[in-house]
Structure 1
Amino acid sequence: MIVLGCNGFTRVSDVFAERFGASGRDKHYLLGHDAGAALLVDGELVAAVEEERLNREKKTTDFPVRSIAWCLEHAGIEFSDIDLIAIPFDFSPEVLDQMLSGIASAPMPPAAKLQLLGDIGALYTDVVSHEAILADFAERTGFTPDPDKVVFVPHHLAHAMTGYHAAGLQDSAFLISDGRAEVLSTITGEIRDGRIRVFEESAIGAEYSMGLLFSALTRFLGFVPNNDEYKVMGLSGYADPPSPNPLLEHFVQLHDGGTYSFARPLATDDPWGLDPLFEEYFGPFRDDLAYRSRVAAAAQEMLTAVTRHQLRALEARTDLDRLLFEGGVALNCLNNTPLFESSRFDSMEVSFGASDTGVTIGAAVHAWLSHPSASGAPRPTPRVTPYLGPEYGDAAIEQALAEFAGRVRWTRLDDEEELVERVAELLTGKVVVGWYEGRLEHGPRALGHRSILANPGFPDIKDVINTRVKHREPFRPFAPIVLESDAPKIFEMGRKDRSPYMTFVFPVRPEFQDVIPGATHVDGTSRVQTLTEEDTPRLAALLRRFTALTDVPCLLNTSFNVAGEPIVCTPVDALRCFLGTEIDHLMLGNHLVSKTSG
């Protein structure tokens, strides 16, 4: 069975801008961000790519026409070969009735209520209804799908199935938390033998969304909501939370059964509505590190308290020992480590597609497993890899190099040992190296195929990359990559033995804090990525050789892009980023590239 998952809407950004004022800094405060496509063939994930990597618009909401075309081309199939199309949203008429009923009963002035009813009606009719999505698909692709072959998957169930597939289709409990889905923001439940059971009494509506609350705090601190929450996470390490924490003391209320509410329900159409309350709690906004980090620390403590409360209830409801944590909130790796360590679960997984980048995968998996033909059929253990996107061979690389002739010079290194040796020797110095190989990784984190690498043994290397390369805030930390076998020697990993997707944070052992200062955050922790020979053989070989030359057991790893742009996809993208920054060297496939003088 061939299943295509796709996420993205042609008109959604226009409707949100026109109807809700969500533009500029608030443009990601909407549905359909992280547009993309994924292709599942007989349960094997053969292709997945985010639309932003192809259209070069970060966090694009546009219909994923390029992503769909690439997935089909990669697999050598046509639209007529597809058995099912899976959409990771289900705005059914019943969901619309829930939304409209909620507005009708809300304590709002009649004029505002009428306006919001009209706005939601326009969003439904023009963008998210089943009919609108089918029409959008036909208009953008030229292929009219059979409505009987289109599966609309509730958004949170798509998140759950993303984690389930990445965990090898093993029975698991799950916690899903993000900004909002159709009408909910978080659910818990179980997956047994491919069937989902939601613990309905634990579901939280969008009006009490932890993801939206964290996004509102992100916006309050001057960042882009639904995009820059990781900056708040990084800032939180610079301060202790206020005691008592006003967010926990006055705003968030924990209830029995793992549920919670807010002292004031969120107006999900108004991302600015809580700003006066935040100033009441923390004082008038000040654009300085001390103020921002204090608010960030309060937000981080609140997030940990709420998710731990949810997890306690889930532990009491399930006898399963594996936990899947998915949704945008699960990307808060600073929360994930204490959440797991304080739980009774034997394992906790956060996939490379935990945010909305992965819902195309989960929607396709859900459609496959829910189809009658899947009942009772054997299910092979899926091959789990984040390297699911486009790959460009020597011909494409050399054509790209020719386009930039005169601005770059290069040496081709076909001997693998020589290539690794040359790059390892470069990294012994205070240089920054672009690293480009193989298939594009999926998700928001650099996982070793489109990376910027440096030597974490230099205390100021973080400042070098933030200012000269990434063009971003100086407080932002960088993650170390380390061989999985070496990680416990360097980091206090507790009950975790691997962290391949930078979704957990661990303290750096005291004896290594002076060895890798460039990858150690101000609070003494690191967001670790572990790797193996099987995952990334060339990068593993580079790390072994670098360690042999320097006695530094890690490399600093960050995504190959600059602030505000997607991770590079093509060789041309890589060269443009290389030439537009102060990256010193570029390993482009088998080509070691440097800049010409002048």
Structure 2
Amino acid sequence: MIVLGCNGFTRVSEIFAENFGAVGTDKNYLLGHDAGASLLVDGELVAAVEEERLNREKKTTDFPINSVKWCLDYAGLKFSDIDLIAIPFDFSAKVLDEMLSGIVSAPMPPAAKLDLLNNIGKLFTEVVSHEAILADFAARTGFTPDPDKVVFVPHHLAHAMTGYYVAGMKDTAFLISDGRAEVLSTLMGEIRDGRIRVFDETAIGAEYSIGILFSAITRFLGFVPNNDEYKVMGLSGYTRPPAPNPFLEHLVELHEDGRYSFRRPLETDNPRSFDPLFEQYFGPFQDTLEYKARVAAAAQEMLTVVTRHQVRALEAKTDLNHLLFEGGVALNCLNNTPLFEGSRFDDMEVSFGASDTGVTIGAAVHAWVNHPDNAGRGRSAPRVTPYLGPEYDDAAIEQALRDFDSRVEWSRLNGDDEVVDHVAKLLTEKVVIGWFEGRLEHGPRALGHRSILANPSFPDIKDIINTKVKHREPFRPFAPLVLESEASRVFEMGRKTRSPYMTFVFPVKPEFRDVIPGATHVDGTSRVQTLTDEDTPRLAALLRRFTALTDVPCLINTSFNVAGEPIVCTPADALNCFLGTEIDYLVLGNYLVTKADTSA
């Protein structure tokens, strides 16, 4: 069975701009961000890519025409070969009724209420209804799908199935939390033998979305919502939260069954409605590190308290011992470690596709698992890797190098051993290296195939990368790569033994803080990526060789891009990024690239 997962809408950004004023930094605020496609063949995930990597528009909401075509081309398939198309949203007539009922009962002036009803009606009929999505697919691909072969999967269930599939399809409890799905922002439940049971009494509507609230705080601090929440997370490490915390003292209320609410509901159509409240709590906005860090620390503590409350309720509702945390809120890795450590669960996993980048995978899995043809069949859990996107052979790399011939110089190294040995020696110095190999990783974080690498033993290497390479704020921390077998020697891993997707943060052991200062945040923690020879053989070999040369057990890994641009996908993308920054060397597969000496 062949299942295509597809997320993205041709006119959603236009509709939000025209009817909700969502332009500029607000354009990715609500629906359709992280567009992309995935392909499941007989239960095996063979391809997945985000549309932004191909159309080069960060956080794009557009219909994923490039992603869809690439997935099919990679597998050698045609549209007519597809058995099911899975959409990770289900805006049914029932959902529309709920949305409209909520507006009718909201405490709003009649004129504003009528405007909002009209705008939601346009969004439904022109973009997100089943009929609109089918028409959009046909218009953009030239293929008209059979409506009976299109499965509309509720958004949060797609999130749950992403985590379930990546974690090995074992029975599990789950917590899903994000900005909003169709009408909800968070829910909990169980998955047993692929069947989802939702604990309906735990569901929370979008008007009390901790994800939207955190995005509102992100915007208030001058960052891009649905994109820069990790900046707030990083800032929170610079100070302790205020006591009492105004968010917990005056805004958030905790209830039974893991529910919570805000004393003042969010205006989900007005992303700046809480700005006056934030200034009431913290004083007039100041564009200073101290002010922003104080707000960020309070927001981080609020998120921790709310999610801990939810997990405690989930513990009481299930006898399962495994926990999945998915949705955009699960990318707050600073929250994830204490959340797990304070729980009774034996393990907790957050996938590489926890945000909306992964919902095409979960929708496809949901459609496959629940299809009548698969009823009662035993399903083995395939090995899942995040390296699911395009890759480029020597011929493609050489062509790109020839296209940049006057601006770069290069040499071909003789396979893995020579690449590893040569690059490890370069990394003993204070240099920055672009690293490009194999298939593009999936999800918001570079996991070693499209990465920037550096030696973390230099205290100022973070400042060099932030200012001269990434062109971003100097407070931003960098993640360390460490061999899984070495992780517990360097970091306080607690009950975790691995963190392959950079979704957990751990304290650096005191004796290693001066060894890897470039990868140690101001609060003494690191967002760790653990490596194995099975998952990333060349990168693991590089780290092992580097450690043998330096006695430094980690390398800095940050995404191969500059601020505001997607992670590089093609060799040409990598060369453009290399030439537009002060990266010292570029490794393109087996090729070592430097900048041409143009001084003459």
CA distance in 1, matches of 2:438, 2:415: 16
CA distance in 1, matches of 2:407, 2:547: 32
Q: What are the within-5 Å matches in structure 2 for residues 13-412 of structure 1?
A: 13-412=13-412
CA distance in 2, matches of 1:484, 1:543: 11
Structure 1 position 104, deviation (Å): 0.4
The Cα offsets for residues 135-165 of structure 1, whole Å up to 9 and x where unpaired, read as: 0000000000000000000000000000000
Which amino acid in 2 is paired with 1:430?
K
1:505 aligned partner: 505
The Cα offsets for residues 205-255 of structure 1, whole Å up to 9 and x where unpaired, read as: 000000000000000000011110000000000011000000000000000
The secondary structure found in structure 2 opposite 1:37 is strand
CA distance in 1, matches of 2:275, 2:484: 43
Structure 1 position 419, deviation (Å): 1.3
CA distance in 2, matches of 1:552, 1:153: 46
CA distance in 1, matches of 2:531, 2:215: 31
CA distance in 1, matches of 2:407, 2:257: 62
The Cα offsets for residues 410-449 of structure 1, whole Å up to 9 and x where unpaired, read as: 1101232221111001000000000000000000011000
CA distance in 1, matches of 2:543, 2:115: 58
Which amino acid in 2 is paired with 1:382?
P
Q: What are the within-5 Å matches in structure 2 for residues 532-543 of structure 1?
A: 532-543=532-543
The secondary structure found in structure 1 opposite 2:485 is coil
Which amino acid in 2 is paired with 1:56?
R
The secondary structure found in structure 1 opposite 2:163 is helix
The Cα offsets for residues 43-89 of structure 1, whole Å up to 9 and x where unpaired, read as: 10000000000000000000000000000000111111100000000
The Cα offsets for residues 482-525 of structure 1, whole Å up to 9 and x where unpaired, read as: 00000000000000000000000000000000000000000000
Q: CA RMSD in A?
A: 0.5
CA distance in 2, matches of 1:564, 1:376: 47
The Cα offsets for residues 240-274 of structure 1, whole Å up to 9 and x where unpaired, read as: 10000000000000001110000100010000000
CA distance in 1, matches of 2:331, 2:254: 22
Is 1:560 matched up with 2:557? no
Structure 1 position 383, deviation (Å): 1.3
2:452 aligned partner: 452
Q: What are the within-5 Å matches in structure 2 for residues 432-471 of structure 1?
A: 432-471=432-471
The Cα offsets for residues 522-557 of structure 1, whole Å up to 9 and x where unpaired, read as: 000000000000011100110011001111000000
Unaligned runs of 5+ in 2: none
1:523 aligned partner: 523
Which amino acid in 2 is paired with 1:51?
E
The secondary structure found in structure 2 opposite 1:558 is strand
CA distance in 2, matches of 1:578, 1:33: 27
When the two structures are superposed, what TM-score results if normalisation uses the length of structure 2?
0.99
The Cα offsets for residues 386-426 of structure 1, whole Å up to 9 and x where unpaired, read as: 00000100000000000000111111012322211110010
The Cα offsets for residues 565-594 of structure 1, whole Å up to 9 and x where unpaired, read as: 000000000000000100000010000000
Which amino acid in 2 is paired with 1:38?
S
The structure 1 segments of at least 4 consecutive aligned residues displaced by more than 6 Å after TM superposition are: none
- Identity, in percent, stands at 81
CA distance in 2, matches of 1:461, 1:541: 23
The secondary structure found in structure 2 opposite 1:521 is coil
Structure 1 position 25, deviation (Å): 1.1
State the aligned residue count: 598
Contact 1:216 1:274 in 2 (8 A): yes
CA distance in 1, matches of 2:331, 2:284: 29
Contact 1:13 1:30 in 2 (8 A): no
Which amino acid in 2 is paired with 1:161?
M
Which amino acid in 2 is paired with 1:432?
V
CA distance in 1, matches of 2:409, 2:520: 34
CA distance in 2, matches of 1:131, 1:237: 47
The secondary structure found in structure 2 opposite 1:456 is coil
Is 1:577 matched up with 2:577? yes
CA distance in 2, matches of 1:147, 1:406: 52
Which amino acid in 1 is paired with 2:145?
P
Contact 1:235 1:293 in 2 (8 A): yes
CA distance in 2, matches of 1:293, 1:282: 11
When the two structures are superposed, what TM-score results if normalisation uses the length of structure 1?
1.00
CA distance in 2, matches of 1:196, 1:9: 27
